[in-house]
Amino acid sequence: MNETVGPDDVRTAAAACREALSGLVDLDWSRRAGGLDWSCRQTLEHIPGTQINYASQLALAAKERLPRARGGEDQLTVAELLLTVEVNAAILEHVLRAAPASARAFHAAGMADPSGFAAMGCDEVLIHTSDIAAGFEIDFKPPEDLCGRVLARLFPWAPTDVGHWDALLWANGRKALPGMGRQDENWRWHCAPLSEWDGQVARRT
């Protein structure tokens, strides 16, 4: 499996989100998003914030968490929020293209490199789109090859004998797999370069 996740993948994930959810814009978005405590609307508001946050951290090669200026999301329609997912993913894409491969920036899970930020950006979009889809009781199936690359980059310990999307949902604590219990809330990414992985399952402490 190719473990590289890059700028194009971020745009692909955002496009998959908009395609899956654009037909739902006139429904009630106050319903709960899957197993989250957030509503579908709150979950959708969260997604573009992750993209601009990762772009900001990487653009400045930040050594610590930068302040996050947020606000105004509640003034946007659902359709506008879906567009914002793609807009902010495009911003992250351009920052990723400009960053040297050696760039590092702070994330709570580690000092991430560009491929780490790209993979986290994709994971946020794909997993939270799935949460929203579950809230509306529709199926969401993102590109399997993209899921495989994100899985290999962020969760190198994940099982490889099941479909990539199922394994990615498991790694993010969204489902159980045969013979493997569901991950609890302390799951964590490995976003630093894979060369620095110690062979252990990353856990939030």
Element (H, E) at 112: strand 110-112
Domain membership of residue 205 (yes or no) is: no
Which whole number is the average pLDDT over 113-125? 98
pLDDT band at 181 (very low <50, low <70, confident <90, very high): confident
Q: Which amino acid is at 172?
A: N
Q: 72-81 burial, b if ≥16 CB within 10 A, otherwise e?
A: ebeeeebeeb
Can you give the C-alpha Rg of the chain in angstroms? 16
Which whole number is the average pLDDT over 87-105? 97
Q: What is the CA 21 to chain-centroid distance, rounded?
A: 16
pTM higher than 0.75: yes
Structure tokens at 136: 């509306």
Check residue 2 and give its pLDDT: 55
Which whole number is the average pLDDT over 160-167? 96
Domain membership of residue 202 (yes or no) is: no
pLDDT in tens, 123-144: 999 999 999 999 999 999 999 9
Domain membership of residue 204 (yes or no) is: no
Domain membership of residue 2 (yes or no) is: no
Domain membership of residue 201 (yes or no) is: no
Which whole number is the average pLDDT over 71-84? 89
Q: Which amino acid is at 59?
A: A
Number of structural domains (the chain) is 1
Check residue 205 and give its pLDDT: 80
Check residue 75 and give its pLDDT: 86
Domain membership of residue 114 (yes or no) is: yes
Inform me whether the pLDDT recorded for 56 exceeds 90: yes
pLDDT band at 93 (very low <50, low <70, confident <90, very high): very high
Check residue 139 and give its pLDDT: 96
pLDDT band at 171 (very low <50, low <70, confident <90, very high): very high
User: Mean pLDDT over all residues of the chain?
Assistant: 95
Domain CATH code at residue 25? 1.20.120.450
pLDDT band at 115 (very low <50, low <70, confident <90, very high): very high
**CA 145/CA 142 separation, integer angstroms:** 9
Check residue 71 and give its pLDDT: 67
Domain enclosing residue 12, as ranges:
7-196
Which whole number is the average pLDDT over 73-93? 95
Inform me whether the pLDDT recorded for 72 exceeds 80: no
> pLDDT > 90: what percent of the chain?
90
Domain membership of residue 79 (yes or no) is: yes
